[in-house]
Amino acid sequence: SAVISQKPSRDICQRGTSLTIQCQVDSQVTMMFWYRQQPGQSLTLIATANQGSEATYESGFVIDKFPISRPNLTFSTLTVSNMSPEDSSIYLCSVEMGALGDTQYFGPGTRLTVL
């Protein structure tokens, strides 16, 4: 597995502002993922972030709202732009590892509240 950290762990933000979430891994990984977990809900994949290429976004998520950077094999950021109360969620990053390359390990999450 991997040790994954996220910053900040939680934040309270005003509507219309932006927040950048950082995800750091203790080993080099090819695939990193960003998820959103709305209150009381399951996880929804926002995008896949590969180093050296543009992130791939899932249906319903756009780059202007959720820009992602992946500058190297151990780090990624997700920005939540022009926030509204509907963006209040837990945002989690994950990395793909394992012998088959099919197992994802998750960071502790960032709890975002938008007022």
Partner 1 sequence: GNSVTQMEGPVTLSEEAFLTINCTYTATGYPSLFWYVQYPGEGLQLLLKATKADDKGSNKGFEATYRKETTSFHLEKGSVQVSDSAVYFCALSGDYKLSFGAGTTVTVRA
Residues that bind partner 1 (CB under 8 A): 1, 33, 41-43, 45, 48, 90, 92, 94, 100, 102-109
- Residue 112 Cβ vs partner 1, minimum distance, rounded to whole Å: 14
- Residue 36 Cβ vs partner 1, minimum distance, rounded to whole Å: 12
Residues 56 and 34: their CA atoms lie apart, in Å, by 10
Residues 102 and 31: their CA atoms lie apart, in Å, by 10
- Which residue, 58 or 81, has its beta carbon nearer to partner 1? 58
- Which residue, 2 or 13, has its beta carbon nearer to partner 1? 2
According to DSSP H, which parts of 39-96 are helical? none
Q: Decide: helix, strand or coil at residue 88.
A: coil
- For 107, the token pair is 């960071």
**Cβ atoms of 106 and 34 closer than 8 Å:** no
- Which residue, 35 or 80, has its beta carbon nearer to partner 1? 35
- Residue 61 Cβ vs partner 1, minimum distance, rounded to whole Å: 13
- Residue 38 Cβ vs partner 1, minimum distance, rounded to whole Å: 12
- For 39, the token pair is 């209150």
